Structure 1
Amino acid sequence: MTGRATPEKGSDASGGTKRASDLLTIGDMARRTGLSVSAIRFYEEKGLVFPHRNAGGQRRFLRSDVRRLSFIVIAQQLGLTIGEIQAVLARLPEGRTPNRADWTQISAGIRTRIDDKIAQLTRTRERLDGCIGCGCLSLKACQLYNPGDRAARQGSGPRRLLAD
């Protein structure tokens, strides 16, 4: 659990009074975020969201968790793994949702990753003309699958298919 106070104690992460009507059920969260209930439970299991439990054991989420879950989905679409998202969110105090300043820092790292991916895709695009699409696996001229004929060092023939 994060440092958030439970609803029974009457306060939220910002220290303000928290009413039961301020909390959302998991179904409400699913409707608000477009995520399935099972996805929200998965994110809870991974420690990315921390719902409170009412007296009956039902999950209750803070309204700010809508933004937190939205951040998680966007981060995944940008290529961050669950582990990387955990690390980013763990750096935030009291389990709060990333704010503008947090996002500026986070997005700098994502931007670097995107730039690297663009460079990789550009190299692949430039090598496409050298590929004749034959599936040979070790042709010296194949710049996509076997650049510089690296497979030749492993022996002749389709080395990636043959077990030594």
Structure 2
Amino acid sequence: MHRTDLIAIGELAARTGVAVSAIRFYETRGLVEALRTGGGQRRFLRADIRRVSFILIAQQMGLSLEEIAGELARLPAGRTPNGADWTRISTGLRARIDAQLAALTRTRELLDQCIGCGCLSLKKCGLYNREDKAAQRGAGPRYLIGDRAGEIAEIG
């Protein structure tokens, strides 16, 4: 490794647009690893520019820091993610995004209706949740989390 392969934390921050404090935080979480000089200063590999950029993109895509750490840990010898890695990760995200979209669609459809909370406080609940049938499926807003009024009526 050449000296030119290493950059200071300030340069890593400037190149990625991430605050120095955030890079230190990523280091404590094991997302990046600093090398130390004889004087104790942090130095990072130039490849960490791409690694930090990956962290930012993954966060924007909805991954938690724990999930990001898990994905980075799966890479051999702590290398920076490449296109094939991102394809694998994004494929896994698709199911999660599809589930979120389905939940948002259900919410939009039910926005002006009862959401099956079992409150029985609205006059309309007598139509959507007569005798609190939604509660037979469990706690919470049953219609919002995926139960349908017709399915619940079948139990009773």
TM-score, with structure 1 as normaliser: 0.71
1:139 aligns with 2:124: no
Equivalent residue runs for 1:105-144 within 5 Å: 105-130=88-113, 138-139=120-121, 141=124
Equivalent residue runs for 1:141-160 within 5 Å: 141=124, 149-150=134-135
Q: Note the alpha carbon deviations across 1:139-161, whole angstroms, 9 max, x for none.
A: 35468xxx96539x99xxxxxxx
Distance 1:91 1:150 in 2: 42
Equivalent residue runs for 1:17-32 within 5 Å: 18-19=2-3, 21-32=4-15
TM-score, with structure 2 as normaliser: 0.74
Distance 1:89 1:58 in 2: 24
1:148 and 1:121, CA in 2 relative to 1: closer, same or farther beyond 3 A? Answer: farther
Match of 2:151 in 1: none
1:83 aligns with 2:69: no
Question: Kindly, what percent of the aligned residue pairs are identical?
Answer: 59
Q: How many residues align?
A: 130
Match of 1:101 in 2: 84
Match of 1:54 in 2: 37
Structure 2, unaligned runs of 5 or more: 140-156
Of residues 44, 59, 68 in structure 1, which corresponds to 2:51?
Answer: 68
Deviation at 1:138, TM superposition (A): 4.7
1:129 and 1:94, CA in 2 relative to 1: closer, same or farther beyond 3 A? Answer: same
Structure 1, unaligned runs of 5 or more: 1-10, 12-17, 155-164
Distance 1:71 1:42 in 2: 15
Contact 1:138 1:149 survives alignment (8 Å): no
